[in-house]
Chain A
Amino acid sequence: MNPKTKILVVDDFPTMRRIVRNLLGELGYSNISEADDGQTALPMLKNGDFEFLVTDWNMPGMTGIDLLKAVRADPKLARMPVLMVTAEASKEQIVEAAQAGVSGYIIKPFTAATLAEKLERIAARMQAAA
């Protein structure tokens, strides 16, 4: 994936946003913005030229799964890759995210290696689809 890829990181915990930003930075991605829940993120996505979304699930306001559904329902955003990074680890929830069209799913706590692996996998699938 292009290191200039414009990424939006959505999490209600500022420390987690900082960690994701830091790990992405170490993986070579520096074009990163942040939002603290779906409600803040959605207008940013609609009005911005983001190419990749990393979102938590459990957030006040608008949850990550609702944000994912809103993204998939918006013709302009529908094809954006969405990586969910969440503490929600039940099979039902993973299935729900998959059915809603998630591109990758990382269970917290996670490592930079896991993040790198998921990003590569998503990028490879995008290339195959293109």
Chain B
Amino acid sequence: MAAAPARAQPEHHAVDSTDAASRQVDVLAQGLTQLAARLAQELQGLDGDGRLRRAVVDIPDARSRLDAVATLMEQAAHTTLDLVEQAQHEVRELRQHDDPDVVARADRLRDTVLQVAEAQGFQDLSGQILGRVNRILESMHDGLQDLIVRAGLTPPSAADASPDDALAGPQVAGLQRHDTASQGDADALLEDLGL
């Protein structure tokens, strides 16, 4: 029978270590709960001033403006190339002239016009750069939106957009928040006012 307490000994130890383990789990769980609560609080505070929401709403607006810049530049380059082609046509006729001095001048003019055409290459290069910035903005927007959803923050709405500047600047298709006037509208308005 002397062996009995000896057998009980390890059992007792086992109960002890189970208790210790469960106490450790309790402490860990408590710590984790506190950490989670603090994290939730921090995350709520993360967008306390609504800057993340505003960014999520403003970024698509900024992207539309970049697209508008790319379109304006492309149109300008096409307009310039139209004029280049007209000038080249004139120059070709001038080069058939009898007066060698006129032909020499036409040759110089031909080089100048060609350089104008070359210079329009800016549109391709700046368009590629704008496209890259636009893709960066897109992934920033998606990342922020994802963060807001995962953190359970207030989802953004149109009301979060940055307030309009008093001077809206150039009109961007699809982004006019106010009635905009054409030159004709402005003339009519001024005429009504006696100007």
Enumerate chain A interface residues (CB-CB to B < 8 A): 11, 13-16, 18-19, 22-23, 26, 58, 87, 108-112
Contact B123 A22 (CB under 8 A): no
Query: Which residues in A have their C-beta under 8 angstroms from that of B122?
Result: 109
Question: Does the CB pair B128–A14 fall under 8 Å?
Answer: no
> Can you list, as one digit per residue, whether each of B116-151 has a CB less than 8 Å from chain A (1) or not (0)?
011111111101100000000000000000000000
Separation of A39 and B167 alpha carbons in the complex (Å): 45
Residue of B nearest to A16 (CB): B124
- Find residues 80-94 in chain B having any chain A CB closer than 8 Å to their own CB: 81, 84-85, 88
Query: A108 contacts B85, CB within 8 Å?
Result: no
B12 adjacent to chain A (CB < 8 Å): no
Residues of A within 8 A of B88 (CB): 22, 26
Tell whether, in the assembled complex, residue B123 and residue A15 are in contact, meaning their CB atoms are under 8 Å apart. Answer: yes
Q: A18-B81, A22-B81, A22-B85 are in contact. Are A13 and B127 (CB under 8 A)?
A: yes
Closest B residue to A112 by CB, please name it.
B114
Chain B residues close to A by CB (< 8 Å): 74, 77-78, 81, 84-85, 88, 110, 114-115, 117-125, 127-128
Closest 10 CB pairs between A and B? A16-B124, A15-B77, A109-B121, A13-B124, A15-B123, A22-B117, A111-B118, A18-B81, A112-B114, A19-B120
Given contacts A13-B123, A15-B77, contact A23 B118 (CB under 8 A): yes
* Complex alpha-carbon distance, A58 and B135, angstroms: 15
Note all chain B residues with C-beta closer than 8 A to A14.
74, 78
Structural contact, A110 and B124, CB atoms closer than 8 A: no
Give, as a whole number of angstroms, the nearest-CB distance from B129 to chain A.
Answer: 9
Instruction: Judge whether A108 and B81 touch: CB under 8 Å.
Output: no
Besides A22-B85, A26-B114, 7 more A-B contacts (Cβ < 8 Å) are A13-B74, A16-B121, A19-B124, A22-B81, A87-B125, A87-B128, A110-B118
Q: Which residues of B contact A19 (CB under 8 A)?
A: 81, 117-118, 120-121, 124
- Chain A min CB distance to B7 (Å): 74
Pull 26 A–B residue pairs with CB atoms less than 8 Å apart, ordered by A: A13-B123, A13-B127, A13-B128, A14-B74, A15-B74, A15-B77, A15-B81, A15-B120, A15-B121, A16-B124, A18-B78, A18-B120, A19-B117, A19-B118, A19-B120, A22-B81, A22-B85, A22-B117, A23-B117, A23-B118, A26-B88, A58-B128, A87-B125, A87-B128, A109-B119, A110-B121
